[in-house]
Amino acid sequence: MLNIGGLNEGFVLDHIEAGKAMMIYNNLGLDKLDCCVAIIKNARSNKMGKKDIIKIEGGLDLVDLDVLGFIDHNITVNIIKDGKIVEKKRLSLPKKITNVIKCKNPRCITSIEQELKHIFILTDEENQVYRCKYCEEKYTR
């Protein structure tokens, strides 16, 4: 049972791979939020051994679930109301991500036209392959 200690209204990102919480914190822009955010590192997990957890007070619209799904779609999102888990959301790999990663191909139009959005498309769901919308350069993690 997930300990949501003290959180009344908000959500908990559970099953984060141990050590990844800070990276997710930065990628989701949680440092820019005014609400209460708690990071728990190296929590014990039956399934994973160790895991990280992030608790956020407030509505789910505070974070971009596409970005989260792209980073790690195995994370579970627990929605908390009145101090209880009312819903568990599974994430999926987003079909398209905008301005999260940058194309590394020096000849890509996005490295020349600075104002262009960096758009990547999921081209192979099974192997989690994303390709640049403009030059089809494969994104390697």
The site for Zn ion (CB under 5 A) is made up of 103, 105, 108, 132, 134-135, 137
Give the shortest CB-26-to-Zn ion separation in angstroms. Answer: 23
Other CB atoms within 10 Å distance of the CB of residue 21? 21
What is the 8-class DSSP label of residue 1? -
- Residue indicated by tokens 């089809």: 136
In whole angstroms, how close is the CB of 108 to Zn ion at the nearest point? 3
DSSP H/E element including 50: strand 49-57
* Shortest Cβ 101–Zn ion spacing (Å): 10
Closer residue to Zn ion, CB minimum distance, 55 or 133: 133
